[in-house]
A = this chain, B = another copy of it.
Amino acid sequence: MCGRNPAHCAEYWKAVQELWLRLYLSNLVVIAAVNGSSPAGGCLIALTCDYRVLADNPKYLMGLNETLLGIVAPFWFKDTLVNTIGHRAAERALQLGLLFPPAEALQVGMVDKVVPEDQVQSTALSVMAQWLAIPDHARQLTKNMMRKATVDRLVKERDSDIKNFVSFISRDSIQKYLQMYLEKLKQKKG
């Protein structure tokens, strides 16, 4: 992620914020075609899209699994998830760091459609065509109306959010957890 250099970590986190701010209020239609696992930040990016198509492969897991790494999803990850799957499902998913396989991701509302792996691209394209058929200025204003309040919260709290992240991530106990988690992943893959 960003190691133990606080300045490096602050830069990193600012960039993640920037990315989310741009994607979540993007005027473009963005359709996610997901052909692999999307934990943590990958899941967040998918959640900023207008529509999510996921390949039906039980190995493709999706979720904000921060607690499994001993860290905490920041409030704007949480807000994005609550906007997508509701408060209760988000509370359970975030506390347990749940990674959903396709069928469960669909049921909980984390994705909008699950299709065979070779149809992900074509499905995403036809969904895209449906969204692009809508008068563009009206669609953009509507998207903005739905998401503006969530974005404003982070805009107001960017500095304190960076401080929180940096101080949290540089704790010894957290670094230990992260290393343990990465070790486990390596062993699985190895």
Contacts and interface: CB of A to CB of B under 8 A. Distances in A.
Copy count, this protein chain: 3
Interface of A: 50-51, 66-73, 75, 78, 82-88, 90-92, 94-97, 109, 112, 130-131, 134-135, 137-139, 141-143, 145-147, 173, 177
Given A72-B142, A94-B146, A135 B177 contact: yes
A142 B83 contact: no
Nearest to A112: B92
A72 B146 contact: no
30 contacts: A50-B92, A51-B92, A66-B138, A66-B142, A67-B135, A67-B138, A67-B142, A68-B134, A70-B138, A72-B138, A72-B141, A72-B145, A73-B142, A75-B145, A78-B145, A78-B146, A82-B87, A83-B87, A84-B87, A84-B88, A86-B87, A88-B109, A91-B146, A92-B112, A95-B134, A95-B139, A95-B142, A95-B143, A135-B177, A138-B177
